[in-house]
């Protein structure tokens, strides 16, 4: 990828002020254009804590039969886990994970929404139970 940036200066170049003849400085008073190279483009966007939590959370396997594993690659403490039917009924809620897992074997097969909370962050993922 290459980018050309053209810059025009505003105001005249004052050779006396700069202690030179002003020769070849016409570009500084807007008479022509100057081309710059060796530029770097830097992405200054920062992930929000919500995005960071989402990107570090793993929920597997999906589809699941009995044990749903929930882990965070940065070892964030998971405060609560809730499972909702697609109609919004809460079918499971727990504040305790056993070995980073939740037993869903007693829940009927279907599609559910899993809400995982850690501090002020929460993530909702679509889960299929077989």
Q: Would you kindly state where each structural domain of the chain is located, as residue ranges?
A: 5-36, 49-129
List alpha helices for the chain, DSSP H.
Answer: 15-18, 49-56
pLDDT tens by residue, 11-31: 555 667 766 655 555 545 555
pTM of the model: 0.60
3-state class of 51 per DSSP? helix
Dihedral pair phi/psi, residue 74, rounded to 5°: -105, 15
Dist. CA 90–CA 23, nearest whole Å: 78
Percent of the chain with pLDDT over 70: 59
CA pair distance 86, 103, nearest whole angstrom: 19
Confidence class of residue 72 from pLDDT cuts 50, 70 and 90? Answer: confident
Specify the CATH number of the domain 49-129: 2.60.40.3080
């Amino acid at each position: 990828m290459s980018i050309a940036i053209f810059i025009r200066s505003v105001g005249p170049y004052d050779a006396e002020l700069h202690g030179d003849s002003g020769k070849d400085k016409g570009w500084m008073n807007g008479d022509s254009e100057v081309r710059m190279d060796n530029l770097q483009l830097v992405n200054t966007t920062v992930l929000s804590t919500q995005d960071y939590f989402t990107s570090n959370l793993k929920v597997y396997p999906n589809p699941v039969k009995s044990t749903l594993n929930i882990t965070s690659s940065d070892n964030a403490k998971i405060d609560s886990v809730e499972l909702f039917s697609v109609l919004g009924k809460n079918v499971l809620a727990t504040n305790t994970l056993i070995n980073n897992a939740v037993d869903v074997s007693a829940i009927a097969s279907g599609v559910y929404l899993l809400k995982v909370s850690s501090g002020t962050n929460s993530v909702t993922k679509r889960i299929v139970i077989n």
